[in-house]
Structure 1
Amino acid sequence: MPTPSPAGAQRWRDPRRYLWLLSPFFAFAAAWHLVNFWRSGAEFWLWLLPSVMYGVIPTVDALLGPDTRNPPDGSTTALEADNYYRAIVVAFIPFQYAATIIGCALAATAPLSATGWIGLVLTVGGINGVAINTAHELGHKRPRWERWLSRVTLAPVAYGHFYTEHNRGHHLRVATPDDPASARMGESFWAFLPRTMIGSVRSAWHIERGSLAGRGLPAWHWRNEVLQAWAMTLVLFGALAWAFGPKVLLFLAVQAFYGASLLEVVNYIEHYGLLRAQRPDGRREPCNVTHSWNSSHVLSNLFLYQLQRHSDHHAHPGRRYQALRHFAQSPQLPSGYAAMLLLAYVPPLWFRVMDPKVLAHYGGDVSLANLHPPRRSALLARYARGGG
């Protein structure tokens, strides 16, 4: 449970206050590494950020473990009102755009080997994938300018429909079979990826079409937020192709796909196998802190604005990242997202680690989980026999 409010909680000071700067620094480092490659031609600069993402962060998370401390209850109002935390989120965006523009210049002009080109894609696509998390934080907030910046942040990764589908689709249908962003027990990441990518586009379009129809407007109207978001990407990619030549369009497309896949592997992790129970009237129970996998591992949370405290986020979507809480009753991941995504890439290892955790969460009754339809019968038979 969240920490009770002690005396003097209003004066509580966040011990990680300056460590949150790691997230915009990560974007700055991407742009800096690209400039260093431009100057030196040494391709190891293109592999530093991927090495941090896939090597350093998982290792440090494992060494430090989780930090389950919560802000005292009486401190959260002042904590959320502190504009310092908002400025940290916004600071990510100019460095993200700088990395994208420099990456395009390198893709168009630099003599890259095959491994260098892959490193460039991983660096730029990695930053734009992490930027989706920046867009996620901004997109849930009330001020219109923050929500507008959310869509600006999504333009380089060509995933602007996420703004609509996530806020008005995923949060309503999370942990149900109807949600394209909720992975099912027994479903590999590689099966989930096309299902969620296609399903999220369909969902966003259906949501906007219905919203516009309610106002007496056609789907292909300039007020369609999905079309607005895609138009931002077309303008950005068109400007970059004009500046650096049409060959950058292939680079932009590949880095965008990789960046979007980072979002979707995180989606895969966040709700794998979890299911909101169906009530007698056929409706699903309200979403609560048991319907998202939680992680309070330190370094991943500092880079991702505490996205890993996902249980509290779904229970309170408007809560700002610095005030999100750890709940002991939420299902807990064995590590942070940086390590879990590596596990998700290898389905046999993922199933070996996570399926028993889903089963334990439901007290051994696998029928209570969100099961992948092609494997439903096999899972029910396997765990009914007590199989591991």
Structure 2
Amino acid sequence: MLKYIKQFVTPIMLSSTFVGIMLGGPWMWLGVAVICLVMIGGDGLLRDDLSEPHYNHKWILNIALFLALPFLAVTLWGLAWASQSGTSDFLALGGAFQSLTGYDVFAARQSSEWYHMLGAILGTGFTVAGYGTNIAHELTHRTTDPLSMIWGRWMLAMSNNADFSIEHVYGHHETVATAGDPASAQRGDNLYAFIVKSTVGGHISAWKLEAGRLKKKGYFLFGPRNKMLTGYLMSITYAAAFFAAAGWLGVAIYMAQATWAKVVFEIVNYVEHYGLVRVPGQPVMPRHSWNTNKVVSSMVLFSLTRHSAHHEKGDLPFWYLKPYPEAPEMPYGYLTTIFAAMVPPLWRASINPRLKEWDEKQASREELALLAERNQILGSVKVEKAAA
């Protein structure tokens, strides 16, 4: 039973974001604090998870996945409500929360400062990225299931990222760990430049892929079947709800959390394949992704951490992914690795020894040759090996 209960740890943990928003004031940082404490502390203290449990009741796992959209909708509802002032009560959320708890949410909101709202924005962005984008990633790999696709795209739209459902499945999984993939960071790439490159490049790639699909089917490019356009409309719908709550201030707050969620997602892209090389056209292998089996990251992120197994067979449900302890391993758990990547000197100190080990023990001769052409092999031994 415990293996099923673990699938609901994420919404339980992330409910702290919504509760903190409603409590107002310094409590609006509650979500950020809980996320950091649980993920960084848990990964640092607990063992790796190499288990491969068997699930007889997969419908329970799917409940955990499909719960994400309504959960996140309520979280955004809370943020939209917090964008208001005075006695305004967007869709009666404040009154309902106050009647249930007895807590004066209106007074708390009125006393909140801009730096308290910053905590709410960051917490919501973390929640949208860690729960929404992650579960959407799982669901939009189910390309033959319309409900999973639309459910996932509505979650991606919360970070203005509905194009991910196109580019990731049909682009990234084909070009991963090559120079042709905007979502694979090359050695020496600066994180902040990469975020821009991956965002713009991924969006352009998604448009090309969608245009090709529509042309093949004989549909008008700018018609209602264009998933890029419907993705824009989904995000506009969320922005419109925030506008209804608090005008342009509400829209600005929505855009701030969406942008932060997108940034977190792109940092994840950065660390998942940084510096790993694959010869275009050759099979994607476990060595082409950074893995981690940290127990809390694995549990909270629904085994996204088993990224090597995911790229080996992209349409495999998360509960079938294998730990692959022999795959390249991230320096830390997911959130700690994200924070390390945000400090370039710390990132280089953390990842370069692992890249050196990859060059020595896992890279193929052809991959070493590619690195030699770019003068990116770490260590003279690898240069000799590539030239041999």
Tell me which interval the TM-score lies in, with the shorter structure as reference length: 0.7 to 0.9
What displacement does 1:369 show?
Answer: 8.6
Aligned to 2:167: 165
Match of 1:68 among 25, 43, 50: 50
Match of 2:207 among 201, 205, 208: 205
Aligned to 2:135: 134
Contact 1:67/1:298 (<8 A) preserved:
yes
- Alignment partners' CA distance in 2, 1:297 and 1:385: 31
- Cα distance change, pair 371–133 in 1 and its aligned pair in 2 (3 A): farther
Aligned to 1:3: none
- Cα distance change, pair 289–385 in 1 and its aligned pair in 2 (3 A): closer
Aligned to 1:101: 77
RMSD: 2.3
What displacement does 1:70 show?
Answer: 2.1
Q: Does 1:91 find its partner at 2:87?
A: no
Match of 1:315 among 312, 334, 356: 312
- Alignment partners' CA distance in 1, 2:212 and 2:245: 38
Secondary structure at the aligned position of 2:271 is classed as: helix
Q: Does 1:51 find its partner at 2:53?
A: no
Written as runs of structure 1 = structure 2, the 5 A alignment for 1:213-362 is: 213-277=215-279, 283-362=280-359
Aligned to 2:98: none
Structure 1: any 5+ residue segments left out of the alignment?
Answer: 1-13, 38-42, 278-282
- Cα distance change, pair 102–289 in 1 and its aligned pair in 2 (3 A): same
Contact 2:6/2:299 (<8 A) preserved:
yes
What displacement does 1:129 show?
Answer: 1.5
What displacement does 1:229 show?
Answer: 1.1
What displacement does 1:327 show?
Answer: 1.0
State the identity as a percent.
28
Contact 2:167/2:209 (<8 A) preserved:
yes
- Alignment partners' CA distance in 1, 2:372 and 2:122: 31
Count of matched residue pairs: 354
What displacement does 1:370 show?
Answer: 7.5
Q: Does 1:18 find its partner at 2:5?
A: yes
Structure 2: any 5+ residue segments left out of the alignment?
Answer: 86-108, 384-388
Contact 1:273/1:370 (<8 A) preserved:
no
What displacement does 1:239 show?
Answer: 2.9
- Alignment partners' CA distance in 1, 2:243 and 2:227: 24
- Alignment partners' CA distance in 1, 2:198 and 2:371: 16
Structure 2 residue identity aligned to 1:317: G
- Alignment partners' CA distance in 2, 1:89 and 1:293: 24
Structure 2 residue identity aligned to 1:384: S
Structure 2 residue identity aligned to 1:68: L
- Alignment partners' CA distance in 1, 2:372 and 2:218: 38
Q: Which has the higher contact order (CA 8 A, sep 6+)?
A: 1
Contact 1:184/1:371 (<8 A) preserved:
no
What displacement does 1:307 show?
Answer: 0.3
- Cα distance change, pair 116–212 in 1 and its aligned pair in 2 (3 A): same
Runs of 4+ in 1 over 6 A off after TM superposition: 364-367, 369-373
Structure 2 residue identity aligned to 1:102: G
What displacement does 1:233 show?
Answer: 1.0
Q: Does 1:30 find its partner at 2:17?
A: yes
- Cα distance change, pair 370–152 in 1 and its aligned pair in 2 (3 A): farther
